[in-house]
Structure 1
Amino acid sequence: MAQGTHGDAAESFDPLRPRLIRVAYRMLGSVADAEDVVQEAFIRWMGADREAVREPEAFLRRAVTRLCLDQLKSARRNRETYIGPWLPDPVVDEGEEEEDVTLPLMLALERLSPLERAAFLLHDVFGVGFEEIAATVERDPAACRQLAARARAHVREARPRYRVERQRGLEIAGAFFAASRSGDMTALGAMLAQDVSLHSDGGGKRPAAIVPVLGFGQVMQVHKALAVLFGKYGSTLVRVGLINGLPGFVTREADGELQTTALDIEDGCVTGIYVMRNPDKLRHLH
């Protein structure tokens, strides 16, 4: 293909790439897979009759969504054999923009069918009309409205009712790091809700709990044991920031690998702790 043609395609595609990656990542929960899907959409864009496309963003969003729907079929099979809890790849945001799709919501999306997930994300998150969604998923608009409504009912509880103020959330995250690494169990316990849960994703590549740890007492027991290891081997803070829309922090652990910890906070108390240890899902952070 002529270089000029490639250049023309890239010139119109590149400004849309960040938004397309946002769509793909929220569909798939994987940074690498999202980038692969968007690259495949670019290849299709190079081969398309671009002069005949009236709305490039709608055309490319449709292509990305369809590629994601295909990918989700194989992803579901892979999740069935995944070792331990599955968490989406962590995305660390240092900017001021609030994230509309937080980690608990992404986990709730995992329970939807691929079509429900697409309809909900495109309409409720990205503001796409049902006519375009219908053309994308090859259903009529009324059916797409039903898909979005069913999805909305399923994920309603996962949407934050009282979003913690950003700076306050980051302060809690910093205090959580300090207490958990120093072994100050009194300070740590004061931050935890009674029904707190701990979810750690090692993917079978690094040590992590095979099932979620539920309840104040159990989570405190885990952190007491971890504090001994942190005291012996160390754990270095890399940065505090928003991780998938939740306050949290990135650390470098004793094995030299990165780790992310995201905190779901309600009424000033930590209700959910999400720890990513799978090195495959942390590679993009390096």
Structure 2
Amino acid sequence: MNNYQEKLFPYAYNILGTVDNAKDIVQEVIYKHIAHNNKEVKNETGYLVKSVINAAINLKKRNQKIRNTGMWLPEPIATETSDNGIDSKEIISYSMLVLLEKLSAKERAVFILKNGFDYSHKEISEVIDSTVENSRKLLSRAKAKIVEHKPRVNKTPLQNILPIENYIQVIKNGDATALEKLLSKDILLAADGGKNIKVVRELTTGITATSKLLIYVYRAFLTGLKFKFSSVNHQPAVLFYQKDSLYNCQVLELEKMKIKSIYSIVDPKKLKSLCV
């Protein structure tokens, strides 16, 4: 069943945006399938996929009801290598995961199945126990909510299209003018510290404000820390380490040779999947 775990995980993770919950759902679905000895199931893969998706939808609904109003960013996954037991090809880009938080759980599932896994509306309707017409309506609503904000993610390594060393160097030097030249006019900086870590500011927009905040945060919290460049959810990222522990992950979205968005995750619970 190991192959099933790898195959099923992206469905759950793309809906939930959390690693542990996605793994738990996959394991629970597989365990129940084995325990019940469902010999009458003709299409085992289809059955398991459907079970995982619906379990993920239900959990996402519950999480959306109890989540506080603070900034919530998805849990990042390393996609630089493929030796982490995860089929990273099916993992959605980080910027898209952030954007999908605008959708209801079922809208999100339909959008992912249609655009991420190339399901037909007939197949989607069978998975979510609905009708083709309702599947189309859910997809239409989903697209309407995110069309204006759809990210343009370039999967080319950041080193090949942007002098990322300059991004770190100008912040180190406190060179606001040079930093502003690397940022898009629509730059957005979002930070998630979880329940226990208070970030300086959860959401910042605008070149000047973002530049000042990046320099301040580096001086106050990141000076002297080791860092490396990586690929997180198919996007370039900078990982900062406090001694041997991952302290901060900054995921960057690029557009026209500029940094359009920076997602800064400092919640230790969300960083642990990058540490394995």
Structure 1: how far apart are the matches of 2:232 and 2:77?
5
Structure 1: how far apart are the matches of 2:89 and 2:8?
18
Per-residue CA deviations over 1:204-223 (Å, capped at 9, x if unaligned) read 32231343011111112112
Structure 1: how far apart are the matches of 2:33 and 2:119?
20
Cα offset, 1:101, TM superposition:
2.3
Q: Pick the aligned partner of 1:176 from 167, 182, 185.
A: 167
Stretch of structure 1 that moved more, 29-38 or 40-49 = 40-49
Q: Pick the aligned partner of 2:57 from 50, 60, 69.
A: 69
Per-residue CA deviations over 1:182-210 (Å, capped at 9, x if unaligned) read 43434322211222111010013223134
Are residues 1:118 and 2:101 paired? no
Give the aligned length. Answer: 270
Are residues 1:252 and 2:241 paired? yes
Alignment of 1:1-286 (within 5 A): 13-79=1-67, 81=68, 84-95=70-81, 101-161=92-152, 163=154, 165-168=156-159, 171-229=162-220, 233-237=223-227, 239-253=228-242, 256-286=245-275
- 3-state SS of paired residue (1:93): coil
TM-score (norm 1): 0.84
Using a 3 Å threshold, how does the CA distance of structure 1 residues 172 and 33 change in structure 2: closer, same or farther?
Answer: farther
Per-residue CA deviations over 1:225-262 (Å, capped at 9, x if unaligned) read 2243257x52211x312222221121114795421101
Stretch of structure 1 that moved more, 18-27 or 209-218 = 209-218
Q: Tell me which structure has the larger Cα radius of gyration.
A: 1
Structure 2: how far apart are the matches of 1:161 and 1:262?
14
Stretch of structure 1 that moved more, 46-55 or 156-165 = 156-165
Stretch of structure 1 that moved more, 256-265 or 55-64 = 256-265
Whether contact under 8 Å (1:86, 1:201) holds in the other structure is yes
Whether contact under 8 Å (1:170, 1:247) holds in the other structure is no
Stretch of structure 1 that moved more, 32-41 or 140-149 = 140-149
Gaps of 5+ in 2: 83-87
Using a 3 Å threshold, how does the CA distance of structure 1 residues 145 and 169 change in structure 2: closer, same or farther?
Answer: farther
Whether contact under 8 Å (1:173, 1:248) holds in the other structure is no
Structure 1: how far apart are the matches of 2:244 and 2:217?
14
Stretch of structure 1 that moved more, 256-265 or 156-165 = 156-165
Structure 2: how far apart are the matches of 1:168 and 1:224?
21
Instruction: Tell me which amino acid in the other structure corresponds to 2:76.
Output: P
Whether contact under 8 Å (2:235, 2:252) holds in the other structure is yes
- 3-state SS of paired residue (2:39): helix
TM-score (norm 2): 0.87
Stretch of structure 1 that moved more, 169-178 or 145-154 = 169-178
- 3-state SS of paired residue (1:92): coil
Cα offset, 1:149, TM superposition:
2.4
Gaps of 5+ in 1: 1-12
Aligned to 2:85: none
Two-structure CA RMSD over aligned residues (Å): 2.5
Whether contact under 8 Å (2:93, 2:153) holds in the other structure is no
- 3-state SS of paired residue (1:165): coil
